[in-house]
Each structure stands twice: as C-alpha cells, then as structure tokens.
Structure 1
Amino acid sequence: MKDKNQFKGKRILVLGLAKSGEAAAKLLNRLGAIVTVNDSKPYVENEQAKDLEKLGIKVVCGHHPLSLLEESLDYVVKNPGIPYTNPLVQEAIHRQLPVVTEIEIASLISEAEMIAITGSNGKTTTTTLIHEMLKNSRREPLIAGNIGTVACEVAEKATNEQIMVVEVSSFQLLGTEQFKPKVSVFLNLFDAHLDYHGTKEEYGLAKAKITANQSKEDYLVFNYDDPFVRRMANESQATLIPFSVNERLEKGVYIHEGSVYYQNQAIIKLESVVLPGSHNKENILAAIGAALIMGAELKQIKHVLQTFSGVEHRLQFVTNFEGRQFFNDSKATNILASQKALEAFQQPTILLAGGLDRGNEFDELASSLRNVKALITFGETKEKLARVAKEANVNTIIFVNDMVEAVETAFEQSNPGDVILLSPACASWDQYKTFEERGKRFVEAVQGLNTTSKS
C-alpha cells in the first residue's frame, strides 16, 4: 500500500500552472500539503490561480520571486515546460531542494502498476495501442499523461486492480527521482528539444530516467534498431524485451516473413494490420511487447491491430475530397516525425510544413521530399524549409500566412490522386497554442473546401 499521508503537512511550491500544475496543486492540497502556487501569468487574468485561491491555496502570480524559497520547503513541483535555467529553479537546486514534476507525485501515490512510454516519436500511438490491447484483460487499463488526464489525477484514484498506461516526455522524466514503472517503453531517440536539453546526449539521459530505478522484476521494452536506445538499455537493471523491424530476436518482438512474432510465437500477419505507415511497425512491436507482459489477451491484441487506424493529429486520415486524400499529422513536431509521415506515401504529395524556429536546419528532411510536388510553408521556419525544398528539386514552393490559405493553396496545386499532408516538422507555438489547435484548424480548413466548392 502506498502511503497517501506522505505529503501531509509538507510545504510544497508548485511552479507553473497549465494543466499539470493545476492538477498537482489540487491533489497535494487534498492530501494535506501546505501548497503555494507560483505562475508567471498576472493574477488579474489568471483564472486558474483564482480558482486555486478559493481552495485555500496561496498563489503568487506575475513573477518568480526567490523569496518563495525562504520558507522551509520540502518539494518544488515544476511544470515540465519551465526550463532548468529559470533562476528560481536554479536556486532551488543550489539549495538541494527536490525539484520534481507531477509524474513523480503520481508514481509515489499510485496503487496501480504503471506502463510508461517515451521516445522522440510514436509515444501517443504506442500509448493508445497498449491501452486498447489491455481492454478486457484481468486489470482495467487507465490512460494518462500527455495523452489524457494528468497522471497524478489518475493515480489518486487508481487501484491495484488497474494498470496506468502513461505517456511521458523527457521534460517530465528529468524531474523524477523515485519514478519506477513496472514496464518502461523506450521507442527511439532523435535530435529534438535541444533548445531545452542542450545536446542529444543530455536529451537521451533524460529519456533514460524512465528505467533508472527499475529492477529485474520490472521490464524495459526498447528499440533494438536504435543504437542510442540500445546503448541506454544495456545500462538498465530491468529485464530487457527488445523489439526490431530488421532482426529476429528470440527473446523479443520482431517481424519475420510478413508476420509479427513475440519470443518466437507468431502473433499476426502484417497484411492484417490496418495502421498506415512503415514507421508504425515499431510502435506496433513495442505495444505488443508491453501489453503481453501485463496480461493482454492475444485475441484483443489481434482485434486492435485489425481495427485501429490511428490517433487524432498523428497521420490522421481526414477525408477524400475530389480525388485528393487529406492527412492531418500536426503532431509531427520534429524532422523525424515528418520524414516517417512522408515515407508512408508513394503518391505525389503536397506538403504543408512550418512553425516555431528552434534553431535547427532541415537538411535531413531533403531525402524524404522525393514524392513532394509542392511545399506550402508557413511560420518562423518557412525560409529554412523553402531552402531545403529548393535543393531537393521540389518544383513548387509557396509561402502562406495561415492554415486556411495553406489548405486552399494546396488544393489549387493538387490533382486527383494526390495526397495533401499537414506534417509541420516544427512545434506550433509561433502561431498556435498547441499542435492540437493547429491540427483542428487544418481539419476545419479542409472541411471548408467542401463549402467553398458548393458556393
């Protein structure tokens, strides 16, 4: 049994609100902690802070005063998006205060065992697959983390008759000390979030914290085909379950002669799997490994793979309009994700891409542009993407200002049989609050084409 009184009377500073900060503050308050919330958004326009204040929680808004650390604090619970260069965070670390994220709180109170999924790409698809595969098994799966309800909210009510299936980011994992999933899934590692982590090595080390506290009684499902992930896995104390698209692995999950195998047992023929894109083979293998470890029924696994066609904003099929297929891949916030999306299609493709400039170039994208007949680009990175497209001999490159203009222009440049693909290769924050908002604007613009054509 987890001790849910462990936070009673503890002095805790919740730094940064958004969804996870608000959930952590409310939970810790319910658990009897003495909570102070600090958020950069001014109080007069901060509805979350006002709601928390009504619960008796102290709120300090508009700035991050170092004086907040002068009280005797037991924890700082940091919003994952706040960088460690923040002066308040740096001072807390200097004072040797535990600086954690809400996923750590969730792990400390959850009665349910956890499956935690991380990687540069494929987390949401894999998390969803595992959750679906575990349905109808002995223990009810609960989905949480970046993909659903904040993990600490789910953990508060979870029982040992349930399993938490949690998508976790490097930002969250960096703020963990005792986090110990029963099953960790490490999908891949690619140059991403370097503005936050500094180097790929540091980024990888943050991801590797998913297995840092695991023992032989726990499991690490990992991508054997990714050299960086394989090296990290070799340092884990967990029981290793590798997966590979390229090699037969007697103790893992692999593809051989058109079928998926788990420890030499045939699971399903690839021709029966409906999820599009070659990149999803890795996600499928990882999900099968994790689900079987935790008691999923083979019948349910097969059913999911024969019916599951993808998640919203992740290579999501939108519609077929006047012979053009539209796909929403707004969750492709880095180059690798867009490469994999582009490689899923053989048809001529109109690519919609662009967004927040994180300082990287896009030369690695060039080899995946061979079927792209036109680039419609927007946002801070449009000039960089245009340069790469030009060097890759993309015939048509057009700058636009918003998603409606992007979709209308893409349709004008397309022919029946073409794919029109939103796969930005960039974060959305220069123009949209989230990748979900960006994806919804795309879907709305596509739906608007039908209206326009009838008017």
Structure 2
Amino acid sequence: MKTINDYQHKKILVLGLAKSGVSAASLLHKLGAFVTVNDFKPLEENPDAQGLLEQGIKVICGSHPIELLDEGFELIVKNPGIPYTNPLVAGALERNIPIITEVELAYQITESEIVGITGTNGKTTTTTLIYEIFKADKRLDPLIAGNIGKVASKVAQTAKKDQQMIIELSSFQLMGIRTFRPHIAIITNLYEAHLDYHGTKQEYAKAKSNITKNQTEDDFLIVNNDQKELVELVRFSKAKLIPFSTKEYLENGCSLYDGYITFRGETIIHRNEIVLPGDHNLENILASVAAAKLMGAENEAIRKVLTTFTGVKHRTQFVAEIDGRKFYNDSKATNILACTSALKAFNQPTILLAGGLDRGNGFDELIPSLTNVKAMILFGQTAPKLEETAKKAGIETIIRVDNVEKAVPVAFELSEPGDCILLSPACASWDQYKSFEIRGDIFINAVHKLK
C-alpha cells in the first residue's frame, strides 16, 4: 500500500456503510483523517457502525441530518447506492464539498496495475474471465475486486506492485472518481439502465465513460465496436483504443472471424471449443481475451480457461444434465434485456421459468425471443402479465406455480430429452426472495433433488 498524506488531519464524512463504507472509514482513519460515519440504520441494529465506533471513529446513525454539513467536512466518501438527489448529498454539492466513492481511494493507495470493467451487461462474467485467465498464466498474479463483492479499497491495501487488480465498476461508483486511472479499461456494452438514479440515458452513459477520463496514451481502452454510439461516446479518450466485434474482422482489435477468436490477426481459439454458452457471452470473451493479450497472457492460459469456464453463478450457469435435460440458472436476469440475452443463447426447445417483482412494466418485448420456448412456468407478482405475453407469443403450455422450488419439478415433467430448462426470471426477486442469489440457490437445490 502506498503511503499517502492527502487525508491526514482532514475532516471527512463517510456517508452510508455496507462493505464499502466500512472499508473506506477504516482506511481513512488509518491514513490520519478525522472520520465521521453517517448511516441510516440505527446504531443498535448496526454491527458495522458499532465496530467502527470501537476503532475510535465518530458514528452518527438513524438518519442523514442535514446539519452535518455545518461541521466543515473537506470531503465526502459516499456509498455508491445513495443517489445524488439525497438532501445531504445535494446540500454538499451546493457547498462545493467534493464527493468520491471508495474506488477512488483504492486507486490512490494501490501499488498494482488496474484493469477496470464496466458496461450495462456482462461486467461480472468479463471480470471473472479475466481473473481466471490471469490466474491460469503463472507469470501473472491477479486480485479481483469492486462491484463483484470484494471491496476495492480493502483489496488495494495488500495489493503488490507485481499484481493486477481486476475491478468490476458500476456507473454509481464511476460517478465518484477524480483521479482513478485503470491501465486497461473495458466497456462491454451500453444500454438504457438505472434511469431512476441517473435521470437520462445520456447521464448514465457519461458516468460509464468516466472509466477512461483520466487514461493517457500509455493506457488501453477496450470497447464494443458493434455499438457505434459507444465508440463515439469515448472518442475523447487519450488511451489506445482496442475495439472488439462479433460482426466484423478488426485488424487492430479482437474479433470473431471465420469461427475463430482472433487478436490483432493472431488466431487464439475456435468458437466450438468454448464451453460458455450464448452469443452475448462472445462479447465478454472477446473483451477478456483482449485484456489478457494486452497484459501478456499466453494463449495456452486463455485456451485453458475458455475450454473449461462454464459461467459465473446465477448468470446462465449450467447446473446439471438429468435424463437428457440441461438445467441453467440465470437468476441474475432481473430485467427483460438480460432474459432476452439468455434465451438467444439456446437453440434447442426451452422451458422458461420466469416471474418476480412487478415494477409496472409489460413483457411484450420478450415475444421475439420466445421462438424456441415450448412452455413457460410462471411465479411471483408478474405471473399474470407474463402469461398474457406467453399467449400473444403462441405458447400453448403455460403453468402458474407458487415459487421457483415448485417450478422445477413441473418443468421436468413437461420436458423431453434434448430440452433446456432455463431459470431466467426477467424480474427482480424481492417479491419472494431477498436476493437473486437466494432465488438461484433455491433453483439449484431443486434441480439436484430431481436426481
């Protein structure tokens, strides 16, 4: 960890806890700052805040009092999930108090090179693929962090010069950077998302493009060349542009060409050897291969991972094959776009398990992707809406059940050898489950019970 004096004796407010807030508060305390932590959860229900209090850090819990801004803070480190419309945050902006997220702290203290990954879809798969390829190449020594679950500012404290920090980054995190500069930046794709937070697609896109705003000509920006508006968005970047495409051959990038993955004209692996399913995952693979080659990974390490990597848990994850039926867990598909991507990954007859929290939208956008769906098993608040969509798509077998656990044996009874049984809910889980992970784990357990 680099020794920096930037925060010594400075009054800093850490707003919002969870893992990132706890790590940021502890780190700033270690760096000599006068830290105050403010979290909405009451102290008696807040073990994280209690732990920080024991470290000698000032803690204010139970609300976000606007009066805090009168204490003369020189910086706010904000939990990414807290919107900029929050009165305390808005008040800080009016007073010109700088606001950052903890990934900025991670960059300032780390000794390692950073590979940063963002985009609307595919971030976690791409981050994990890069990590696995680096790990398979014995000359590289990767660490994984960021929005994928391991707090970047915590990992950064032990990262060494000869290591590589691979960080998954959300638009929320990227809004709070000032000097953050990855050596390799990746934008997987860009679609309309998180408008409740950003307001417009333009603001969302601007936040994503922050990943390259501090890069120089010594750095690399890997970007989806099939989205011309994305290429146009990052035209301001000073980094070396490394495009990738599933549709055209790119001499200075990564391509799917004549069935092969190529990088700058070099053939790496044939598509048929790759076990991760789905055209959408080809984009993630191309971005990952580009990052690996730029970091000097051997082709042998790339091939080893791509011929064995079956996916990240809850993201088009292969679970089991039972009596000729293949089961896939895509519980992370909490919106229509993600469900559509999963459905496109399979050409065989498919039984789709879907449903969940009703956010007020319809599902007719799914209809073009339901061509191979022979039956739908529906659950949760959106079951009636999804049933309407299924009927419009001409699907004859539509069954409603109470939950995911009950959907699995019903789907198995309806299926035949060669079928795919896919959990891809197209909805958030919160009507029945605390998280998409819990929903996915219940699906996995129900599949294994069939054995």
TM-score of the aligned structures, taking structure 1 as reference length: 0.94
For 1:345, the aligned partner's letter is F
Query: Does residue 1:419 correspond to 2:413, yes or no?
Result: no
Report if aligned partners of 1:376, 1:400 keep a CA contact under 8 Å in 2.
yes
Percent of residue pairs identical: 57
Match of 2:122 in 1: 122
CA distance in 2, matches of 1:229, 1:266: 26
Match of 1:95 in 2: 95
Query: Does residue 1:352 correspond to 2:364, yes or no?
Result: no
CA distance in 1, matches of 2:131, 2:403: 35
Unaligned runs of 5+ in 2: none
For 1:396, the aligned partner's letter is T
Write the deviation string for residues 322-372 of structure 1: whole angstroms up to 9, x where unpaired: 432211111222222211111111222121223334454433221111111
Query: Does residue 1:174 correspond to 2:171, yes or no?
Result: no
CA distance in 2, matches of 1:322, 1:29: 57
CA distance in 2, matches of 1:33, 1:20: 17
Q: Residue 22 of structure 1: CA displacement?
A: 1.7
Query: Does residue 1:11 correspond to 2:7, yes or no?
Result: no
Match of 2:371 in 1: 370
Match of 1:259 in 2: 260
For 1:25, the aligned partner's letter is A
Q: Residue 3 of structure 1: CA displacement?
A: 4.2
Q: Residue 389 of structure 1: CA displacement?
A: 2.3
Count matched residues: 450
CA distance in 1, matches of 2:115, 2:426: 28
CA distance in 2, matches of 1:364, 1:101: 35
Are residues 401 and 53 of structure 1, via their aligned partners in 2, closer, same or farther at CA, if it must alter by over 3 Å? farther
Are residues 30 and 437 of structure 1, via their aligned partners in 2, closer, same or farther at CA, if it must alter by over 3 Å? farther
For 2:353, the aligned partner's letter is L
CA distance in 2, matches of 1:85, 1:134: 40
Match of 1:104 in 2: 104
For 2:110, the aligned partner's letter is S
Report if aligned partners of 1:254, 1:262 keep a CA contact under 8 Å in 2.
yes
Match of 2:62 in 1: 62
Report if aligned partners of 1:222, 1:241 keep a CA contact under 8 Å in 2.
yes
Report if aligned partners of 2:329, 2:422 keep a CA contact under 8 Å in 1.
yes
Report if aligned partners of 1:349, 1:419 keep a CA contact under 8 Å in 2.
yes
For 1:350, the aligned partner's letter is I
Are residues 5 and 357 of structure 1, via their aligned partners in 2, closer, same or farther at CA, if it must alter by over 3 Å? farther
CA distance in 2, matches of 1:404, 1:103: 38
Match of 1:150 in 2: 151
Query: Does residue 1:244 correspond to 2:232, yes or no?
Result: no
For 1:267, the aligned partner's letter is I
CA distance in 2, matches of 1:265, 1:28: 46
Report if aligned partners of 1:208, 1:232 keep a CA contact under 8 Å in 2.
yes
CA distance in 2, matches of 1:8, 1:438: 45
Trace 1:164-243 onto structure 2 (pairs within 5 A). 164-243=165-244
Write the deviation string for residues 286-339 of structure 1: whole angstroms up to 9, x where unpaired: 001111111212221121112212111111111123432211111222222211
Match of 1:453 in 2: none
Write the deviation string for residues 138-172 of structure 1: whole angstroms up to 9, x where unpaired: 34111111224111111111121111001111111
Report if aligned partners of 2:140, 2:297 keep a CA contact under 8 Å in 1.
no
CA distance in 2, matches of 1:102, 1:90: 19
Query: Does residue 1:73 correspond to 2:73, yes or no?
Result: yes
Q: Residue 384 of structure 1: CA displacement?
A: 3.5
User: C-alpha root-mean-square deviation of aligned residues, in Å?
Assistant: 1.9
Match of 2:31 in 1: 31
Q: Residue 37 of structure 1: CA displacement?
A: 1.5
Match of 2:272 in 1: 271
Write the deviation string for residues 372-404 of structure 1: whole angstroms up to 9, x where unpaired: 122223334334333322222222333333222
Are residues 175 and 389 of structure 1, via their aligned partners in 2, closer, same or farther at CA, if it must alter by over 3 Å? farther
CA distance in 2, matches of 1:187, 1:72: 40
CA distance in 1, matches of 2:93, 2:334: 30
CA distance in 2, matches of 1:385, 1:180: 44
Are residues 379 and 196 of structure 1, via their aligned partners in 2, closer, same or farther at CA, if it must alter by over 3 Å? farther
Q: Residue 243 of structure 1: CA displacement?
A: 0.3
For 2:103, the aligned partner's letter is I
For 1:68, the aligned partner's letter is L
Write the deviation string for residues 68-93 of structure 1: whole angstroms up to 9, x where unpaired: 11111122111111122211111111
Report if aligned partners of 1:182, 1:219 keep a CA contact under 8 Å in 2.
yes
Write the deviation string for residues 267-303 of structure 1: whole angstroms up to 9, x where unpaired: 1122222222121111111001111111212221121
Q: Residue 427 of structure 1: CA displacement?
A: 2.9
Q: Once structures 1 and 2 are overlaid, which stretch shifts more, 312-321 or 385-394?
A: 385-394
Report if aligned partners of 2:335, 2:427 keep a CA contact under 8 Å in 1.
yes
For 1:21, the aligned partner's letter is G
CA distance in 2, matches of 1:303, 1:55: 45
Task: Please give the secondary structure, in 1, of the residue aligned with 2:167.
Answer: strand
Task: Please give the secondary structure, in 2, of the residue aligned with 1:351.
Answer: strand
CA distance in 2, matches of 1:372, 1:39: 46
For 2:186, the aligned partner's letter is V
CA distance in 1, matches of 2:68, 2:321: 55
Are residues 298 and 389 of structure 1, via their aligned partners in 2, closer, same or farther at CA, if it must alter by over 3 Å? same
Q: Residue 181 of structure 1: CA displacement?
A: 0.6
CA distance in 2, matches of 1:427, 1:4: 42
